[in-house]
Amino acid sequence: MSGFHGLFIPGPTNMPFPVRQAMDLPLEDQRAPDFPAFTLPLFRDLKKVFRTESGQIFLFPSSGTGGWEAAITNTLSPGDKVLIAVFGQFSHLWADLCRRHGFDVDVLDVAWGEGFPLDACEARLKADRAHEIKAVLVCHNETATGVTSDVGGVRRALEAARHPALLMVDGVSSIASIDFRMDEWGVDIAVCGSQKGFMLPTGLAIVGVSQKALDAHKTAKCPRGFFDFTMMGNANKDGFFPYTPATTLLRGLRASVDMLLGEGLDNVAARHHRLAEGARAGVAAWGLSLCAKAPKWYSDTVTAICVPKGFNSDDVIKTAYHRYQLSLGLGLTKVAGKVFRIGHIGHVNEIMILQALAGCEMALRDVGIDVAPGSGVAAAQEHYRETAPRMELPKVA
């Protein structure tokens, strides 16, 4: 088909051209004498993106799911109790992974569309006088429902309960896009993947680990090999890897980190917020409701939208895909058929969001959902115009 396909799923995301260019190179020797001159500064700068000074970054040729597995198998022992709140498909899957690895999984079950239940968590922690709970697992941004939770609040709950459990965060669709502060929030393990805010192809689990988690690792008894922190860390400290790393992605990651730090993490987060506000203004203009139940939970990286009763969101998505070359996110499991999602994470700008909204409007109307043509676009436009930065004129070098 003619023209560019619009990719508006909440990951994989749109790759910037500098990132593509950085990866369009031959393969290289991962044991070359000058390889550490490349990798050591990369590890150092990744810590800036995670906003940690004392933590350590691990890079596995894997995905976010692999990052989840690395987090729990490196720091816990079979039978350990973990506390996790489930309020969407990805928090559900992480809980499931814990069960597969033989943990005692204590689930805080929350309605999909809500976020992490701080009060219930605090109550559960306070009740756990024996400190049987070894880790609290938080999905920072639930990609399935477009819900962002308060990770700092979880740290405060742990402090209020004076509870020593590790705080593990799924930051797959938040780190490098939404505001994330590993040290300030006392996050012990932060899991990210390459294909979201880092704007890269899938293939890297990027995991931040605190000193406290590294201490826990020393006595953790889960079997592990591929994802072992010790084996990886021993090689990493000299700038190498214990097995062949995905050098192509590492070169792209360098370009991505340069872009993120060049823009500034606060600016990155502000941009995501401003763009997401436009998307939400568009949904409001359509008269449709979000899956996220309250503004405090609105995600700045993905907007999940409910279709009216009697309609199937899959029809919207298939129509957008086949007729208008627009990829939208599916409704998953519990919200299958009820929700479609617009991803606005990573390399995005105003005219891209407007394109997504315009395409959605056509698909919604095609399947019979009566939104006014151009209404969402108009609402987003006015938001962007009002909040546009003052225009800077280019200077000649």
Rounded to the nearest whole angstrom, what is the least distance from the CB of residue 53 to its own copies in the complex? 19
- Give the nearer residue to its own copies in terms of CB position, either 77 or 289: 77
16 Cβ neighbours under 8 A, 6+ residues apart: 199, 255, 256, 259, 347
- Give the nearer residue to its own copies in terms of CB position, either 66 or 186: 66
| Strand 189-193 versus strand 204-209 pairing type | antiparallel
Rounded to the nearest whole angstrom, what is the least distance from the CB of residue 229 to its own copies in the complex? 13
Rounded to the nearest whole angstrom, what is the least distance from the CB of residue 362 to its own copies in the complex? 5
- Give the nearer residue to its own copies in terms of CB position, either 136 or 320: 320
Q: Extract the tokens encoding 332.
A: 């998953």
- Give the nearer residue to its own copies in terms of CB position, either 164 or 373: 373
Rounded to the nearest whole angstrom, what is the least distance from the CB of residue 181 to its own copies in the complex? 21
Rounded to the nearest whole angstrom, what is the least distance from the CB of residue 161 to its own copies in the complex? 29
If one counts every other C-beta atom within 10 angstroms of the C-beta of residue 314, the result is: 16
Rounded to the nearest whole angstrom, what is the least distance from the CB of residue 152 to its own copies in the complex? 26
- Give the nearer residue to its own copies in terms of CB position, either 5 or 48: 5
- Give the nearer residue to its own copies in terms of CB position, either 114 or 299: 299
Rounded to the nearest whole angstrom, what is the least distance from the CB of residue 341 to its own copies in the complex? 11
Which residue has tokens 């941009």? 271
Rounded to the nearest whole angstrom, what is the least distance from the CB of residue 193 to its own copies in the complex? 7
- Give the nearer residue to its own copies in terms of CB position, either 119 or 386: 386
- Give the nearer residue to its own copies in terms of CB position, either 35 or 50: 35
- Give the nearer residue to its own copies in terms of CB position, either 284 or 378: 378
Rounded to the nearest whole angstrom, what is the least distance from the CB of residue 278 to its own copies in the complex? 11
Which residue has tokens 């280019």? 394
50 Cβ neighbours under 8 A, 6+ residues apart: 57, 175, 180, 182, 190, 192, 208
- Give the nearer residue to its own copies in terms of CB position, either 45 or 128: 45
CA–CA separation, 305 and 324 (whole Å): 19
Rounded to the nearest whole angstrom, what is the least distance from the CB of residue 162 to its own copies in the complex? 31
φ, ψ of residue 305 to 5 degrees: the values are: -120, 130
